[in-house]
Structure 1
Amino acid sequence: MESKTLYKIPHLPPEIITEILSRLSVKSLLKLKSTSKSWHSLISSEHFIKTHLENSEKNPISANHRILSVVKKPNYELKHFSLRPLLYEQATEAKRGDFPIDKSVHSLKLVGSCNGLICILINKKIFFLWNPVTAESKKLPDLDVSVYISERGFGFDKSSGDYKVYAVSSRRPTIGNIYSLKTDSWTRINNDLEDGYTLGSKTGTFLSGNLHWTITSKELNWRWCILSLDLKNEVFGIMEQPSDAIHVDFDPLVGVLDGCLSTLYYYPDDGYLEFWVLKQYGVKESWSKLMTVSHQDYNDAMDMRPLQSFVISPNERVLFKYGSVIGIAVYNPKENRVEDPKILAFDQFLNSDIYVESLVSLNC
């Protein structure tokens, strides 16, 4: 008879355990926190939360990336679903978010997402920060506005480790305000913008420590430009656009594509649109044309809009907003066609954004 040898599982070094756990989903990690005091301490640590977030962000089409959408039927709801299946012709299911919304809500907008935190504007005056996975939420202090918030943005100042919200009241003259999560307070900043300017979008797109809008004004000779707000120094600037992109009548749309600033330019008279990507932030020469979609290639090309953050998958399929009754579509550039993804329990949305599931806490 062969003798049986018992093997003991070797003790794993802490760094190996951290590496393994940091690749799990947030939901799994929240369950594992209750298994032991040591794992609770590890998973709750600032170093682990940062490591897990970095691993998730390395792959923009991982299972940790989801789309959050505002729907109304008849009351407002937030629904979320996995991003990955949409880019691989698979079905996904929309689920209702647990953010508290009652019948008193008559307006709900997504201001932006950053490191797993979502900024929400309710009734055009009240800001909330929310982590959809941990269900942690925080109402921001009321901002003294006479009418409503007309411009907004949400981002992260890496130098200070602080999350910031930018808001402008609709009253004139315009006054810029920035909220700091670390101090839990609002401060006024120099807007540096003359009255009479026009923004292409009221919501800023966050990337590389800056919020971005498209803007035109008399001071800019009524040309459309990309306006940036540096959240570290809290100052505005104008970014250079592609030299070959000639745009006069319609404002370009700004988005984030695979971690790069991107723009969409309309040429309605010629019946086509162009997508450009800034491969190296702040370097004008690194603008590169990603694709051109013409009316001949696709009849409804002019109805395509980028999500505030959007992605291109390894098979080059690109996710977009689409249509006058807004839905989500996937554009296949190789075949010049738009495909309708299969999203169960979901019809249309008012606005939408992509977020990464994370353990980031609102308690700085």
Structure 2
Amino acid sequence: MDHLPSEITTQILSRLPVKYVFRCRSVCKTWLNIIDDRRLFTPLHFTRSLEEEATPHNKSTFIFASSTGRYPFYIVDKEQSQSAFKSTRIYVSGSDYNIIYANSCNGLLCYSFPTNQGNGYSTFIQNPATQEVVNLPDSNSTQESTNIHFRHFMLYVHNLGFGFDSSSSLFKVLQVLHKSNGLPHSAPVKAQVCTLGSNTWRRLRNFPRVSCYRSAPVLINGSLHWMTYEHILSFDLASENFEFLQLPEIYLSGPRRFRPEKNFRLVALDGCLSVADSSSDEDVQLWIMKEYNVKESWIKLIVKSRYVEDSVLFKNVIPICFWKNGELLLLYGSQILVTYEIESGRYTPFDIEGLPAYRFDCLKGSYGYEVYPYVGNLMSINTICRMEAQP
């Protein structure tokens, strides 16, 4: 490629995944200078990454986030010539325990955990590709928060979401805080948002104070989504308004619905808001909203239990995305990636090397990992913060 014009070489390199870009830095001095150009190459590669993230088909790299708070993050990827996936641990700032994971967005991770002092939470934005980490202000550092959690109960982060507002080119973090007084159930107190690059949390007065499942959100259509016990709660990152979306024809009450949050999961499939119902021992029902916020557009797919030997582990099936040839990529048994042929019902498993095993907890309904398609980028978080801090 030495004979190619620099502009063409730059375009070719900008289409490579991050791990290959880093390898290309060692090829020659010309490539090193192109890749290290933060003014030209980094924004171009970032734009390419956004385009790739919008098309989940044929993904080969994923983020595994532990739902138990131990060994929290791994990048799991697969070379084209290999039959197994390999995992690489992402080291985080602070404790490995009690981490609340938001979601990944544009190659960045967001997570939070309790501070050692007081009643606050430290929230971090991390870029695994560049190893940069930014610590947001303490979520309970404002005087308003201090007045809320005085003597009879504690505040804690129940839901955490992270997304990019394309209308303003701003990253935002949403926290929903609950109060706890030692009883089994807690109550939502407030929601607050922090714009990456600012130094404050802003309380959202329009928060409907509804209890959501304590899970990572789904980011679709410029909004964060969580399941409630009656609806889907959405938060529009641009307008900062909340809205309720109608669920499909699933039933959250009844003798088998003692803990519905362990049987029903909100996921993103092919850019569509979807609900995975694993309450049955026979199959997993996937409800897909083909047209956003149109109740009549829900359709149903069935993931069959045929060819699965362990019926207990079958309940622990997490849909990740549509993959090659229209297959579904699933996480099965908390540790095994499988492709699922919808018509035949057959599974093709892939081993994951280096990923700690999690035993499924029938009582807690623990899934072990949340899994999301991942596209890395070379954008500096500090650069993003400086850009967003400008008026």
Question: Is the pair's TM-score, using the shorter chain for normalization, greater than 0.5?
Answer: yes
* Alignment match of 1:166 (pick from 160, 174, 190): 174
Please give the secondary structure, in 1, of the residue aligned with 2:219: strand
The whole-number CA distance in structure 1 between the counterparts of 2:219 and 2:168 is 16
Partner Cα separation in structure 2 for residue 84 and residue 274 of structure 1: 31
Tell whether 2:9 aligns with 1:29. Answer: no
Partner of 2:369: 351
Cα offset for 1:198?
Answer: 3.5
Deviations 1:143-166 (A, max 9, x none): 106432112211111111111111
- How far does residue 199 in structure 1 lie from its aligned partner after superposition? 2.0
Shift of 1:168: 1.9
Structure 1 counterpart of 2:246, from 226, 231, 240: 240
- 36, 39, 42: which is aligned to 1:40? 36
Counterparts of 1:24-103 in structure 2 under 5 Å? 24-30=16-22, 35=29, 37=33, 39-41=35-37, 44-45=40-41, 47-57=43-53, 59-62=55-58, 65-70=61-66, 76=71, 78-82=73-77, 90-101=83-94
Equivalent-residue separation in structure 1 for 2:38 and 2:355 (angstroms): 37
User: 1:140 and 2:136 equivalent?
Assistant: yes
Q: 1:189 aligns with which of 192, 204, 211?
A: 204
Q: Deviation at 1:183?
A: 1.8
Name the CA shift for 1:72/1:44 in 2 (closer, same or farther; >3 Å).
Answer: farther
Say what the alpha-carbon RMSD is for the aligned residues. Answer: 3.4
Task: Classify 1:258/1:79 alpha carbon distance in 2 versus 1 (closer, same or farther; 3 Å).
Answer: same
Amino acid aligned to 2:174: Y
Query: What is the Cα deviation at residue 177 of structure 1?
Result: 0.7
Match of 2:362 in 1: none
Aligned length: 334
Q: Secondary structure at the match of 1:143?
A: coil
Whether the 8 Å CA contact 1:330–1:338 is kept in 2: the answer is yes
**Structure 1 residue 255 corresponds to structure 2 residue 247:** no
Tell me if 1:156 matches 2:164. yes
Does the CA contact (< 8 Å) of 2:10 and 2:34 recur in 1? no
Tell me how far 1:266 sits from its aligned partner.
Answer: 4.7
Q: Which amino acid aligns with 1:361?
A: S
Report the AA paired with residue 20 of structure 1. Answer: I
* Contiguous gaps of at least 5 residues in structure 2: 116-120, 146-153, 180-186, 359-367, 385-391
CA 1:359/1:152 → structure 2, altered by over 3 Å: closer, same or farther?
same
- % same residue: 27
1:47 Cα deviation from its structure 2 partner: 4.1
Task: Please list the CA deviations of residues 59-94 of structure 1 after superposition, one character each: whole Å capped at 9, or x if unmatched.
Answer: 425566323333889x63532211677xx9921222
For the Cα contact (< 8 Å) 1:294–1:301, is it kept in 2? Answer: no
C-alpha distance in 1 between matches for 2:286 and 2:79: 22
Matched to 2:266, the amino acid is V
Residue 302 of structure 1: CA displacement? 5.8
Displacement of 1:128: 0.9
How has the CA–CA distance of structure 1 residues 247 and 360 changed in structure 2, closer, same or farther, with 3 Å as cutoff? farther
Residue 100 of structure 1, CA deviation: 4.2
- 2:214 pairs with 1:205: no
User: Does structure 1 retain, via aligned residues, the 8 Å contact 2:100–2:160?
Assistant: no
Kept after mapping to 1: 8 A contact 2:307/2:347 = no
Provide TM-score, normalisation by structure 2.
Answer: 0.73
Distance 1:10 1:45, change over 3 A: closer
Corresponding position: 1:106 with 2:118: no
Q: What is the Cα deviation at residue 176 of structure 1?
A: 0.5
Separation in structure 1 between the aligned mates of residue 307 and residue 344 of structure 2, nearest angstrom: 9
Q: Does structure 1 retain, via aligned residues, the 8 Å contact 2:278–2:317?
A: no
Cα distance in 2 for partners of 1:346, 1:166 equals 30
Q: Give the alignment partner of residue 19 of structure 1, picking from 2, 11, 14.
A: 11
Bigger mean CA offset, 333-342 vs 147-156: 333-342
Alpha-carbon offset, residue 320 of structure 1: 3.0
CA shift for structure 1 position 345: 1.7
1:92-112 CA distance string (max 9 Å, x none): 2222224345xx543123210
- Tell me if structure 2 keeps the 8 A contact 1:330–1:341: yes
Aligned residue for 1:174, secondary structure, equals strand
* Residue of 269, 282, 290 corresponding to 1:279: 290
Instruction: Show the counterpart of 1:311.
Output: 321
Return the alpha-carbon distance in structure 1 between the equivalents of residues 60 and 304 of structure 2: 34
Q: Is the 8 A contact 1:65 1:84 kept in 2?
A: no
Q: SS of the residue aligned with 1:48?
A: helix
Is 1:117 the counterpart of 2:108? The answer is yes
Structure-1 separation of matches of 2:279 and 2:89 = 38
Q: Is the 8 A contact 2:63 2:73 kept in 1?
A: no
